[in-house]
């Protein structure tokens, strides 16, 4: 089989949004590196789904908060496929609590994954991505919705927004786009975990379209920004059905 000409790294590639992103980019003809930190079984399931559909994928484990692990992720992508063209940062954790009772260790853990991890992957992307490439970071619509108990999570994602907007301007002349995708309520395990049904129903009714988003709603935008969307740059794009 001919090696695909374009290569993507998807962090959190075995997760609720990450895996659909992996499968969609592979279906579009990219070789995909599934970056994961947790379950090897889930990561291999994502790789198997791609290869059984005729695509190309491999899995690499590492801690995105660790500089050496992030460098090794890119090393392995380059060794396997010759370079990196698209990086999609879907990895993230969400811990909720009012500020007054928020555990500082939980805060630090979320900052390490959501903000430090995005920073390190973005920095390595800048150093390695080929011209014509794209970096897509993931934020959240809760940054502007200001929902109670989401303060720490929203703070980490607000940092991602700022990093993305500045980085797009720092890459002037490189022909590399940098954008943030900011989903609203989306029916993934991360979103649904621990929420009472009445809360889920209320959030589903909030957008004018009166439903939760699906991972496929998000992957459509990712595929566009990773491929033909070359004139979209330095933006935070809200994928939330019009909730705000």
Residues annotated catalytic, as ranges: 153
Contacts of 127 (CB under 8 A, 6+ apart): none
Contact between 120 and 64 under an 8 Å Cβ cutoff? The reply is: yes
Contacts of 214 (CB under 8 A, 6+ apart): 186, 187
Q: Sign of dihedral through CA atoms 182, 184, 190, 195? A: positive
3-state secondary structure at position 244: coil
Task: Name the helix (H) or strand (E) containing 57.
Answer: strand 57-61
Angle at 116 between CA 160 and CA 180, to 5 degrees: 20
C-alpha radius of gyration, the chain, whole number: 17
Q: Are strands 236-239 and 31-36 parallel, antiparallel or unpaired?
A: unpaired
Beta bridge partners, 180, equal 137, 236
For helices 40-52 and 18-27, what crossing angle results, to 10°? 20
DSSP secondary structure letter of residue 106: H
| In the block, residue with structure tokens 């005729």 | 54
Angle at 155 between CA 92 and CA 61, to 5 degrees: 20
């Amino acid at each position: 089989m001919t090696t695909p000409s374009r290569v993507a790294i998807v962090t959190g590639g075995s997760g609720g949004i990450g895996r659909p992103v992996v499968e969609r980019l592979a279906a579009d003809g990219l070789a995909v590196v599934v970056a994961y930190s947790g379950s090897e079984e889930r990561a291999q399931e994502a790789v198997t789904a791609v290869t059984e559909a005729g695509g190309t994928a491999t899995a690499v484990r590492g801690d995105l908060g660790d500089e050496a692990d992030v460098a090794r992720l890119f090393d392995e992508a380059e060794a396997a496929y010759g370079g990196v063209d698209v990086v999609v940062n879907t990895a993230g954790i969400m811990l909720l609590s009012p500020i007054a009772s928020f555990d500082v260790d939980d805060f630090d853990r979320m900052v390490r994954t959501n903000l430090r991890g995005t920073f390190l992957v973005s920095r390595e992307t800048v150093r390695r991505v080929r011209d014509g490439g794209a970096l897509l970071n993931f934020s959240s619509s809760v940054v502007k919705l200001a929902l109670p108990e989401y303060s720490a999570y929203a703070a980490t994602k607000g940092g991602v927004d700022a990093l993305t907007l500045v980085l797009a301007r720092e890459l002037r002349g490189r022909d590399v786009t940098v954008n943030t995708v900011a989903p609203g309520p989306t029916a993934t395990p991360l979103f649904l975990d621990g929420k009472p049904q009445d809360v889920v129903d209320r959030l589903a009714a909030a957008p004018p379209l009166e439903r939760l988003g699906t991972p496929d709603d998000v992957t459509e935008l990712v595929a566009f920004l990773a491929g033909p969307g070359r004139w979209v740059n330095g933006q935070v794009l809200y994928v939330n059905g019009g909730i705000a």
